[in-house]
Structure formats: structure tokens, C-alpha cells
Amino acid sequence: MDSHEKKLIIESQKGDMESFEKLIKEYQKGAYNIAYRMLGNTEDAKDASQEAIIKIYRSIGGFRMKSSFKTWFFRVVTNTCLDYRRKRSRNKVLYLDKAINSEEGSFQREIEDPSDGPEEIIIKNENTRTLHGYISKMPEKYAMAIILRDVRGFSYSEMGEILELPEGTVKSRISRARIMLKDIIANNMEQNDIKTV
């Protein structure tokens, strides 16, 4: 942790909102991205990432600088998202950005995006949606491992701090998660081949 970040933490602990905003500025986008990957829609991702930031603000006085602020921040984000997933599994909701199944098959409601972008952005977005669909089929502890390591690029030690697990457990969980994801993708491809024959 650099001295500037440490100073911002100390000032935030004293209640200085401007210091807190500067402190979390570089992490906010990452918080939203993790929330979106875990929750699968923009509204829940916004709500969960904002709730996590509020939790961080309220509990920053208890941060003792034994771990990096970054890993502590993302631990709070991760736990908040897990809470949202659990709540949502109890209260099923239909979202416009999810596929709708009917007797004629599955379709996805298209929502107009006013921004123009190159073809690569469309392909990347489709790949992201497809990957998110696969990840959402995994148990949450394995989904979290894939999201933190392969999507967000956290190191094993950072993941250990975020998930509060030994580094060896993190490595084995990532290995199992990757195998599980590979199986889900393979099964999906087989099912698609069966449907097109």
C-alpha cells in the first residue's frame, strides 16, 4: 500500500468523504464488473456495487491495514454479491436482458443501444454474455473463482485474501472451476449439435 493510499484511508476513517471518494475511485468500475458478472444484469450490479461501497464507507473505521485495501474492498464487494445471489434465488424475477423460453424456443428481447460501435464490440459482448451464461450455471464458489482469477485477473494471494481461504485452496478451487466450466461448455455444444441435426 502506497503512502498516498494510506493517507486517504486515514482521512476516510476520520469521516472525510472527499478522501473516501478519491480512495475508491479506481476500484468502482471493478466493483461493478464483478457484480455484473456474478448477478447477470445491470440493475442488480449497480445496486450491489453501490451497497458494497456504502458498507465499505461504514466499516472503513475497522480497516486495520493488515491486508491491502484493494483485497479488502473486493472481499466486501464479493460478499455483497453473494448475498444478492442468495436473495435473488429466493425471489425469482424476470429481467429483460435474460433469454425468454417459450414453446417456439428461446429468444432474447433486444433493447436498442443508441451507441454505434465496431463489429468487434458486438462479438465481444456476445462472448461475454455467453461466458456469463456458462458461469451462472456453476455453484457460486466456483463461479467466484473463475470471475476473480480469469475475468478480473486477481493473483492467487489476492484471491486468498478476498475469499479468506489459503492459497492452496484457491488454486485447487480454480482448477476444479475450470474443469467444471469446460464440461459445461462441452455439454452445451453437444446439446446445440443435437438440436441442429
Same domain, 78 and 151: no
Kindly report the average pLDDT of the chain as a whole number. 81
Same domain, 130 and 82: no
Report the number of distinct structural domains present in the chain: 2
For residue 97, is it within any domain? no
Q: What is the pTM of this model?
A: 0.59
For residue 34, is it within any domain? yes
**Cα 187 to Cα 181: distance, rounded to the nearest angstrom:** 10
CATH number at residue 158: 1.10.10.10
For residue 16, is it within any domain? yes
Same domain, 66 and 17: yes
User: Measured at the alpha carbon of residue 53, what is the angle toward residues 18 and 164, in degrees to the nearest 5?
Assistant: 125
pLDDT digits (tens, 9 = 90+) for 171-192: 999 999 999 988 988 888 777 7
Q: Percent of the chain beyond pLDDT 70? A: 77
For residue 140, is it within any domain? yes
Q: Is the pLDDT of residue 21 over 90?
A: yes
Spell 171-196 as b/e; 16+ CB within 10 A means b. Answer: bebbeebeebbeebeeeeeeeeeeee
137 contacts 108 by C-beta, under 8 angstroms: no
Residue 1: predicted pLDDT: 67
**What separation in angstroms does the CA of 117 have from each of 33, 42, 132, 168?**
20, 20, 21, 42
CATH number at residue 36: 1.10.1740.10
140 Cβ contact list (under 8 Å, min separation 6): 38, 82, 85
For residue 108, is it within any domain? no
Q: Is the pLDDT of residue 166 over 90?
A: yes
Residue 66: predicted pLDDT: 83
Same domain, 70 and 136: no
Main-chain dihedrals φ then ψ at residue 84, nearest 5 degrees: -60, -45
For residue 109, is it within any domain? no
Same domain, 81 and 165: no
Q: Which domain holds residue 179?
A: 117-197
Residue 96: predicted pLDDT: 53
Lowest average pLDDT, out of 48-57, 126-135, 157-166, goes to 126-135
For residue 105, is it within any domain? no
Q: Is the pLDDT of residue 54 over 70?
A: yes
**What confidence category does residue 23 fall into, taking pLDDT thresholds of 50, 70 and 90?**
very high
Same domain, 78 and 144: no
Same domain, 80 and 152: no
Mean pLDDT of the region 17-30: 91
pLDDT higher at 130 or 58 = 58
Same domain, 43 and 123: no
**What confidence category does residue 116 fall into, taking pLDDT thresholds of 50, 70 and 90?**
very low
For residue 96, is it within any domain? no
Lowest average pLDDT, out of 31-40, 83-92, 139-148, goes to 83-92
60 contacts 85 by C-beta, under 8 angstroms: no
